[in-house]
Structure 1
Amino acid sequence: MRVIICGADLVGSSIAAYLSKEDNDVTVIDPDSNVLAQLHSFMDVNTVAGHASDPDVLNAAGANDCDLIIAVTENDEINMIACQIGHSLFGIPKKIARIRRQAYLDPSWSNLFSRAHMPIDVIISPETLVAQNIVQKLAIPGTTTALRLADGKAYLIGVVCMEDCPVLHTQLCQLDKLFPDLSFSIVSISRGTKNIIPDEDDMLEVGDEAYIVVDSKHLRRIMAAFGHLEKEARRIIISGGGNIGLSLIKKLQEEVSGLQLKVIEHNEERAQYLSEQLENIIILNGNTLERDIMEEASVSTAETYIALMNDDESNILGSLLAKQYGCQRVVTLVNNHAYYPLVGPLGIDALVSPKSIIVANIMQHVRRGRIKGIHNIRDGEFELMEIEISDSSRIANKNIQDLELPSGVVIGAIIRDGEVIIPKYNLDILPKDHIIILASSEKARLVENMLCVRVDLF
């Protein structure tokens, strides 16, 4: 498939990396030739320097023979124009655009992106996606990661094993005997800088982050089994009232009752705007890194502090300060992946990576066929795939112990007729089974080939 990606920032380059690994013909457009040269040096992609809204640039990128355009520049208008030109002049079949400005997404203008007007097939709203991700984390308190799988029948959760975790130093094969009526599977363990696909003899240690696929009906009991008895937060402080913060506040007010919300916003004009747009919320104008503002916000009595400022360092420092004041839990937005290994040891409870969230969402729209979902884990070190088994799949009607899965690959659960089954020996895999499988990034392609999954676009 021929794909044009407009924008070579973290999101665009990550999408290019995924698609180029799958033997697609990928061309990246960006005005910065230095960024393109760097991109070209470590992945197999074509590059064109220029603005994606320029018909000549799109033509040079091969738009006249293109199957898909993904416009993810930082400029909404360039993204929209690139898709419009791709449709009107070059007849590109599918168009995906990242749109950040909420005015374009107002329900009043729902026809704007219809086929009769501006024919964009998929709109990606980063603010909305990030807000949804945070709401999921808040809904399952104590998790570092919370991903809804198989239409909500299962979840992938990440939990840190504290010193009081009841299952520390217990062989994983013994957990079935300890909790025979719970459907769950530990598919990965993060230990320091190592990411482990565990076997049945492995044991959890203090500080480990366990990634668990669990039947939704057993979520609360699994959290308790791993020593997490946190209650859903009602007293929440949000630092940063930008577009993500505003989207999160609106979503929380729509979905959660009885909240006590406070927002710290350093920009006076923005703080005034928030006070006009929102009800039943306290807006504080000031710097979240100043102690008097933290004290005025009563951070010491807050159950959750969420750092959503535009600066990673401020988010991390603000989160640490909130912890110092006694806030029970901090959720921190971080864009720079270089900081990711640091946040756990620093005591940050949950990390929010906009890049990973956006890329995973776009890839779900790009793929079709039997792959129902793809989720990035640990900033892309692992892929969690949701795959429907077809009649012609190599593993259909095979016993699970005969699959000879490569190292770095584990089946976390099988959803069959609406029920979550944790894989055991002597279990046959049947057509129409919905399989949740975790693979290291370098083994993901191998898994797709093994399952005879056709990775076509859209």
Structure 2
Amino acid sequence: MKVIICGAGQVGYGIAERLSQEGNDVSVIDVSASLISATTDMLDVRGYVGHGAHPDVLAKAGADQADMIIAVTLYDEINMVACQVAHSLFNVPTKIARIRAQSYLQSHYSDLFSRDHMPIDVTISPEVEVGKMVLRRISYPGATDIVRFVDDNVAMLAIECTEDCPVLNTPLAQLAQLFPDLMATVTGVYREGRLFIARSGDQLRAGDLAYVICHRDHTRRTLSLFGHEETEARRIVIAGGGNIGYYVAKTIEEMQPKTSLKIIEANRDRAIAISEQLNHAIVLNGSVLEQNILQQVDIQDAELLVALTNNDQTNILSAVMAKELGCKSSLVLLNNPSFHDMTKAVGIDAHINPRAVTISRVLQHVRKGRIRSVYAVQKGAAEVIEAEALETSPLVGVPFRDLELPKGIRLGAIYRDGKMLTLNGDTKIKAKDRVVLFALAESVRHVEQMFRVSIQYF
């Protein structure tokens, strides 16, 4: 596939890195010569210095032969115009744009991005996507990661197995026998730097990170089974009142009005603006790295600090300071992957990688076949994939016990007619079933093959 990416910032670079690793023909455009130089030095991609919305620049990047354009510059309007030019002048089939301003995304303006107006096939709003991720992590503090599939009916949980985890050293097949009514399947395990597919004879060990696919109504029970019964925080301090911080605060006010919420925002005008838009939250103007500001929000009584500024170092340091002053737990936003591995060493309880969220949204549109949703884990080492089964799929009509799945793939859930099925040896997949599975990176192409549309199949 030939892909043009407009924007070589952190998100654009991450998308280019992933797509180029998979053998796609990738071209990256950015006005910054230094960013393009750094990208082409590190990745097997072509780079072009220029404005991503300019026809001559798109032409140089090969837009006339491109299958997809992904516009992820810092500016919504550039992303929108780049897609329009790609459509009108070069007839690029698939156009994806990052749109940050919520004004463009309001439901009563839904026709704006239609083919007759501004032809954008997919809009990605990182702030909303990340905001939803933050809210899920607040709701389920025992999960290291949590993502929803099949219209929010199926969940993927990443759960850390501690020393007192009740299910350690027990074959996974035995767990299914002990809890037959629990709709949850361990699909992958990350152990000592290695990610592998979980099989029925495997046993979990202390220190493992288990990837479990379950029915959304069984989420808390699944976490409890793994020894995680942490309660949801009711006294929360948010560092950063930008788009993500405001979205999180507004949603908490609407969904959990009894939660005590305090926000620290460094920009005075922004602090005033969000304080007028929020009903109950207390907003303070100041730096989250100032001890007296943290004391003013009673950080010693807070159950959770959520650090959502646009500066990784600020997020890390604020979490460390908050814990030192008595805050029970911390959740921080980290864009730079280099910081992810050192979070535990400095006492950070949980982190979210916004770049991974955006890249996952893009991947579902890159994947061939009837792929509905994709979420990458462990820096792209594996993907949790939701797909729709077609009559032509080799999975359809075959009992589970007889399925010969390619190596590196494990089925986690089948959803049919509004219900999640219990998986056993007799279970058969039918056409139109929604299937959620865990696939190692090298096996993703097999998943595409299994769920490709019939015209490709023949």
TM over 0.5: yes
Give the structure 2 partner of residue 89 of structure 1.
89
Return the alpha-carbon distance in structure 2 between the equivalents of residues 340 and 232 of structure 1: 24
Return the alpha-carbon distance in structure 2 between the equivalents of residues 32 and 184 of structure 1: 47
TM-score relative to the length of structure 1: 0.89
Return the alpha-carbon distance in structure 1 between the equivalents of residues 22 and 159 of structure 2: 32
Residue 79 in 1 paired to residue 79 in 2? yes
Query: CA distance change for structure 1 residues 2 and 191 in 2, over 3 Å: closer, same or farther?
Result: closer
Conserved in 1, the CA contact under 8 Å of 2:53 and 2:82? yes
Query: CA distance change for structure 1 residues 454 and 36 in 2, over 3 Å: closer, same or farther?
Result: farther
Aligned residue identity for 1:276? E
Return the alpha-carbon distance in structure 2 between the equivalents of residues 451 and 109 of structure 1: 33
Query: CA distance change for structure 1 residues 363 and 198 in 2, over 3 Å: closer, same or farther?
Result: closer
Give the structure 2 partner of residue 336 of structure 1.
336
Residue 282 in 1 paired to residue 282 in 2? yes
Residue 235 in 1 paired to residue 235 in 2? yes
Return the alpha-carbon distance in structure 2 between the equivalents of residues 452 and 119 of structure 1: 25
Structure 1, 261-270 or 20-29: larger mean CA deviation: 20-29
Query: How far did 1:263 drift?
Result: 0.4
Return the alpha-carbon distance in structure 2 between the equivalents of residues 67 and 197 of structure 1: 33
Q: Secondary structure of 2:270's partner? A: helix
**Which string of whole-angstrom CA distances, capped at 9 and with x for unpartnered residues, describes residues 130-171 of structure 1?**
111112222333212111122232211122233432223333
Query: How far did 1:354 drift?
Result: 0.9
Q: Secondary structure of 2:48's partner? A: strand
Query: CA distance change for structure 1 residues 25 and 454 in 2, over 3 Å: closer, same or farther?
Result: farther
RMSD of aligned alpha carbons: 2.8
Structure 1, 368-377 or 117-126: larger mean CA deviation: 117-126
Query: How far did 1:108 drift?
Result: 7.4
Aligned residue identity for 1:16? A
Query: CA distance change for structure 1 residues 196 and 347 in 2, over 3 Å: closer, same or farther?
Result: farther
Return the alpha-carbon distance in structure 2 between the equivalents of residues 324 and 181 of structure 1: 43
Query: CA distance change for structure 1 residues 34 and 283 in 2, over 3 Å: closer, same or farther?
Result: closer
Q: What is the count of residue pairs matched by the alignment?
A: 456
Aligned residue identity for 2:123? I
Query: CA distance change for structure 1 residues 374 and 111 in 2, over 3 Å: closer, same or farther?
Result: closer
Conserved in 1, the CA contact under 8 Å of 2:249 and 2:281? no
Query: How far did 1:237 drift?
Result: 0.9
Conserved in 1, the CA contact under 8 Å of 2:7 and 2:30? yes
Structure 1, 331-340 or 428-437: larger mean CA deviation: 428-437
Give the structure 2 partner of residue 146 of structure 1.
146
Give the structure 2 partner of residue 354 of structure 1.
354
Aligned residue identity for 1:246? Y
Aligned residue identity for 2:349? D
Q: Secondary structure of 2:238's partner? A: strand
Return the alpha-carbon distance in structure 2 between the equivalents of residues 65 and 200 of structure 1: 46
Return the alpha-carbon distance in structure 1 between the equivalents of residues 277 and 442 of structure 2: 46
Conserved in 2, the CA contact under 8 Å of 1:22 and 1:445? no
Return the alpha-carbon distance in structure 1 between the equivalents of residues 107 and 395 of structure 2: 45
Query: How far did 1:45 drift?
Result: 3.8
Give the structure 2 partner of residue 136 of structure 1.
136
Percent of residue pairs identical = 43
Query: How far did 1:7 drift?
Result: 1.4
Aligned residue identity for 1:370? R
Give the structure 1 partner of residue 420 of structure 2.
420
Conserved in 1, the CA contact under 8 Å of 2:369 and 2:452? no
Q: Secondary structure of 1:143's partner? A: coil
Residue 59 in 1 paired to residue 25 in 2? no
Conserved in 2, the CA contact under 8 Å of 1:240 and 1:265? yes
Gaps of 5+ in 1: none
Query: How far did 1:26 drift?
Result: 3.4
Query: CA distance change for structure 1 residues 187 and 320 in 2, over 3 Å: closer, same or farther?
Result: farther
Return the alpha-carbon distance in structure 1 between the equivalents of residues 327 and 308 of structure 2: 16
Give the structure 2 partner of residue 185 of structure 1.
185
Gaps of 5+ in 2: none
Return the alpha-carbon distance in structure 1 between the equivalents of residues 116 and 426 of structure 2: 54
Conserved in 2, the CA contact under 8 Å of 1:394 and 1:452? no
Conserved in 2, the CA contact under 8 Å of 1:131 and 1:251? no
Conserved in 2, the CA contact under 8 Å of 1:369 and 1:455? no
Query: How far did 1:453 drift?
Result: 6.3
Query: How far did 1:101 drift?
Result: 3.2
Residue 447 in 1 paired to residue 447 in 2? yes
Q: Secondary structure of 1:187's partner? A: strand
Return the alpha-carbon distance in structure 1 between the equivalents of residues 119 and 232 of structure 2: 41
Query: How far did 1:202 drift?
Result: 3.3
Query: CA distance change for structure 1 residues 166 and 322 in 2, over 3 Å: closer, same or farther?
Result: farther
Query: CA distance change for structure 1 residues 367 and 169 in 2, over 3 Å: closer, same or farther?
Result: closer
Aligned residue identity for 1:356? A
